[in-house]
A = this chain, B = another copy of it.
Amino acid sequence: MNSVGDEARELLLTRLSAVDEISEADRNLLDGLSWRIEEKSARTQFVDEGDRPSECCLVISGIVVRSRYTQDGQRQILSVHIPGDIPDLQSLHLKRMDHGLETVGPCRLAFVSHSSLHDVCRASYSVAAAIWRESLIDGALHRAAIFRNGRLEADARLAHFISEMYLRHLVLGMATDGAFQFPLSQEMMGEALGLTVVSINRAAQTLRARGLVRMERGSIQVLDPGTLAAFGQFDPTFLHVRDEFLG
């Protein structure tokens, strides 16, 4: 069978078992979750700051960003989410959204109700722990962003960002020869890194000139992951991925 939500079930299971083994019983619990699938078009804000959602959203394909806006409409991108991520997992315990969720390109999303997630967590502490840990890795990503945007200059900041994106795609098996699809415009990368398009453009030229990356519209190829990571002072510890991915 190939029922609605199987993609979501598989992605979630892969993700949760990336750190600890998931028992047969827990797997059955998780398989019992029912998912609603939605396709969203590009540049759609589907959760707003201030909302009180009753579901969480799992990214199946495409990229979702979390964002906050200044009074005069400038956007700060708080985090970038790729398939397997649950960008609003915190809404499970924090009622009110402190940021919005927007698609970048077209996305396929899977929604699961808070109540059913609470049910599986209540039924098994090891499931609760696995999901809890996901929400903590999210915090670790935030800390990496604070460090990166606070202490690195433009070139290094971009190197750090690309290193992170590369590693996360690598773990997913979505990078071949260092290359992965990446639909964020330079403008949006600037909004994530606290820089303008112009600075991103010039930083990108630096990284290209050093032979570290190739960046084309919609995709990035990392030519020298080690040097790129060193240049961006990127420490993958915080991603808490298995050692096999850390070259």
Q: List residues of chain B with CB within 8 A of the CB of A140.
A: 90, 94, 98
Does residue A111 face the partner (Cβ distance < 8 Å to B)?
Answer: no
Q: Which of B94, B121, B133, B143 contacts A137 (CB 8 A)?
A: B94
Residues of A contacting B: mostly:
helix
Q: List residues of chain B with CB within 8 A of the CB of A146.
A: 76, 78, 142, 145-146, 149
The closest CB in chain B to the CB of A143 belongs to B78
In the bound assembly, the distance between CA atoms of A96 and B133 in angstroms comes to 12
Q: List residues of chain B with CB within 8 A of the CB of A143.
A: 66, 68, 78, 98-99, 142
Question: Shortest beta-carbon distance, A170 to chain B, in Å?
Answer: 19
In the bound assembly, the distance between CA atoms of A223 and B117 in angstroms comes to 45
**How many residues does chain A have at the interface if contact means C-beta atoms less than 8 Å apart?**
48
* Interfacial residues of chain A within 59-109, with CB under 8 A of chain B in the complex: 66, 68, 70-71, 74, 76, 78, 90, 92-96, 98-99
Contacts A90-B136, A145-B146 supplied; 13 other A-B pairs, CB < 8 Å: A76-B146, A93-B133, A94-B137, A118-B129, A121-B128, A122-B125, A128-B132, A132-B132, A136-B139, A138-B139, A139-B139, A142-B145, A151-B194
Which 9 A-B pairs give the minimum distances between C-beta atoms? A150-B194, A142-B142, A98-B238, A139-B139, A93-B133, A90-B136, A122-B125, A76-B151, A76-B150
Please report A residues at the B interface, Cβ cutoff 8 Å: 49-50, 66, 68, 70-71, 74, 76, 78, 90, 92-96, 98-99, 118, 121-122, 125, 128-129, 132-133, 135-140, 142-147, 149-152, 193-194, 233, 235, 237-238, 240
A-B contact pairs, 13 of them (CB 8 A): A66-B143, A76-B146, A76-B151, A78-B143, A94-B133, A94-B136, A95-B240, A96-B237, A98-B144, A99-B143, A121-B125, A146-B149, A149-B194
